[in-house]
Each structure stands twice: as C-alpha cells, then as structure tokens.
Amino acid sequence: MDLRSKLLMAEVPTELEAEFGASSLIESFVQQLQVMSDTSAALQGLSSAGHPTYCQPTFTLKKAIAMDALPAMQGQLKVLELEADVWKKQVKASRNQHYFLNYFTMRDILRIRKLVEAPLDVPMKIPTTEASASSSLAGTKDSLAYNISVVSATGFHEDHAAAALRRCDNNLEAAVAFLFGHSQHMDRMVAEDAQKFGVAGDTKGIAQPKPQDTTTSQLRLSVELTAMLYAVSSTVNEAAVPTLADNLFIRLSKGEDFLNALGVELSLLFGKESVVRNIPPPGAAAARHAGSLILVTSFLVKP
C-alpha cells in the first residue's frame, strides 16, 4: 500500500515517459496491486467462512505481475467473489436446514471435519458400522497396542506413547512418567524406533497396520468429539458418538457435503426432545419451612 501511494505520488520525468511509457506502466502496476489486495481479502474471507478448499494450510495462490495480467487477475477475483457468495448461501441453507449446526462456528465444524478425517492418515479400510464397532474394542488389555491407545488417549502423541512403552517394558505408569520426563527427546526416540522397527508408530513386530492401530485415533476422536457435542446439550449419548464419527467418515468417503452430513448426524443424535435440568423453584426451602410450620401449628391446635 505504501509502495502504491508512493508510485501514485511520483513525478515521471518526460524522457522516461517518452522512452518507456512509464505512466501507463505505473498505472497498470498499481491496478494489479489493488486487484491482488482484493484477492487476498477475498481469500481470507473464504478461509474464515470455512470454505474447505481455502482452509487448507497448504493452500497457495501465486500470481506474477505482468503488463497483460490484469484481466486474468480481475477474472479470478470475480470467480473468488462468486465462490464466496455461493459458499455463504450454501452455509446459510445448511444452517437453516439443520438446526444443530447452529451450535458450532465454522471453525468448530472444520475441526470436527479434521477429527473425523484423522483416521485417513492411518492406512485403514473404510469402516463399516459393524466393523468400527468391533474395532473400537480391538486390542487385548495389556497388549502394547492397547497400552498405546490408553496412553495416547491421555493427550500424548501415539508415536511418543509407543516409544515410551517400548522403553518401559510396556508398563503404563512408567511410560507416562517417562513421557513427562523426556518430552524433549521423544521425537528423537521415535526416529530411532522408526529406523529399528520400520514405520514409526507401528507396534514392535507388527509391520502391517492392523485394527489395533486405528484404536488410538478412534479413542482420541471419541473423546474430542464427545467434548464438542456437549456444547449442544447437557445430555449426550456418549455410546453413540463413535457411530456418529464412523457415519461421518463414510459420508465423507462417499464425497457427501460435510455440512449436510454433520447436520443429519447431529439431528439423529440429539433428536427433537427437549433436555432440561430442573431445580426446585426459588424460595422452595422457605415454603417448605412455612408448610411444616403450618402443619405443626395445625397439629398443635388440633383438639
């Protein structure tokens, strides 16, 4: 902006004007800067509105300034503005259609999406409802995979949990103490394990991803998602949360619109019944006290 102001204020020598047409060059440059600034604002708007394409941290848009670049830039800006309008209408329609979406900001909804998509990072089959129900129980108690899931459910990264458990003979308590005591060195240990055992995060002796590997993600997903769902109602059927996550995952895998998918699943979970936490009316204790006094009085005056 400062550069643009200075350029607009600059006096162009006549010889430069005659030789290069400097005024038209400056004008074109300033116009392109303005369009780029508008484009940046449009992109930020799309990002804050939660448009999935423009919320990706890896999203980049590079444009070179050239004499003939202005029409293309303006065209792109119009496309972005149009896209923003369409997206806003789409979000509004989804919010109108699915009441429970209105308990979450777009940032919240994107986080839910990120949580649901997280298992995609782990090589796994697309779960069916039946399969996911059984997979959440996979991993026998005290096995390394099970203990990794327990430790990582407390907030530690699963690779760190695996590395700590390997160094503590699969002892849960010792592993957690180890994680607290060696937090700065865990990444190095994970790298060492990756060299020694293969892929980081795999349990020792288990080269291929197995259902146990997904347990950690699913546990974390359930815990996080459950906490978020309590923002809708004081009563959440926690047992149904993994199913909700699975259903969302399947819908995403099928390419369904996430907003609608989430809206449908939330409606199924919360239904249309009102949840109310009742308490006695104010002054109830005083009323009870007065009532008992009347009772006592009537008893006393009774012949």
Partner 1 sequence: MENETKLILGNIDGGSDIPLFVTSTDTPEDVIDVTLSVFMRHERVPEPGEVLFATVDTTSEDVELLLRRWIAARTCGRGSHIFVIADLHMLSYAQQCHLVDQARSLLAEWDASNAATLLLVSGRPQQVAVNQFSQHYIDLTSLETSELREGLAHAFRLHLGVTEAVASCINGGGKTHSIMRRVGERQYLGETIAYCRVPMRENTTPASLVACLRDATARCKAADASFTVGSTTSMVVHLDVGHIIPASASTMLFELLLVGVVRDSMSSQFYHRNAAVEVLIELPNSPGNKSAEALRFASLLPNTLLEVSAATMDLTYPVFTDPFATKIALPAYEEAVLVAKWLRAFKTGKFDPRSGDYSPGFDVFTDAPITSQEVFEVLVEVCHASTGPALQPLFAAFRSLVMFLNIQFQQVCVCFVYLLFTEI
Residues that bind partner 1 (CB under 8 A): 95-96, 99-100, 102-108, 110-111, 150-151, 153-156, 172-173, 176-177, 180, 219, 222-223, 226-228, 230-234, 238, 267, 270-285
Return the exposure string of 98-118: e unless at least 16 CB atoms fall within 10 Å of the residue's CB, then b.
bebbeebebeebbebbebbeb
User: How far from 255 is each of 57, 249, 258, 259, CA to CA, in Å?
Assistant: 21, 10, 8, 12
Nearest distance in Å: CB 30, partner 1: 30
Nearest to 70 by CA among 23, 26, 32: 32
Strand residues in 119-187 grouped as ranges (E): none
* Min dist. Cβ of residue 174 to partner 1 (A): 9
* Residue 114: alpha-carbon gap to chain centroid: 4
Rounded Cα distance between 40 and 52, Å, is 17
User: Minimum distance from CB of 157 to partner 1 (Å)?
Assistant: 12
CB of 90 to partner 1, least distance (A): 15
| Residue among 77 and 150 whose Cβ is closer to partner 1 | 150
In angstroms, give the least distance from the CB of 207 to partner 1: 27
Judged by beta carbon, residue 36 or residue 223, the one nearer partner 1 is 223
Minimum CB separation from partner 1 for residue 162, in Å?
A: 16
The tokens for 165 are 């458990």
Q: Which two tokens stand for residue 78?
A: 């119009």
Torsion of CA 19, 15, 30, 78, to 10 degrees: -30
> Would you say 42 or 228 has its CB closer to partner 1?
228
Phi, psi at 83, each rounded to 5°: -60, -40
> Can you say whether residue 34 is alpha, beta or left, with left for phi > 0 and alpha for psi between -120 and 50 degrees?
alpha
Nearer to partner 1 (CB atom), residue 145 or residue 232: 232
Please state the length of the chain.
303
Separation between Cα atoms, residue 301 and residue 73, nearest integer Å:
94
User: Least distance to partner 1 from the beta carbon of 265, Å?
Assistant: 14
**Neighbouring C-beta atoms of residue 301, cutoff 10 Å:** 7
User: How near is the Cβ of 13 to partner 1 at its closest, in Å?
Assistant: 46
Return the DSSP state at 57.
T
Nearer to partner 1, 32 or 212 (CB): 212
Q: Nearer to partner 1 by C-beta: 206 or 219?
A: 219
Phi, psi of 244 (to 5 degrees): -60, -45
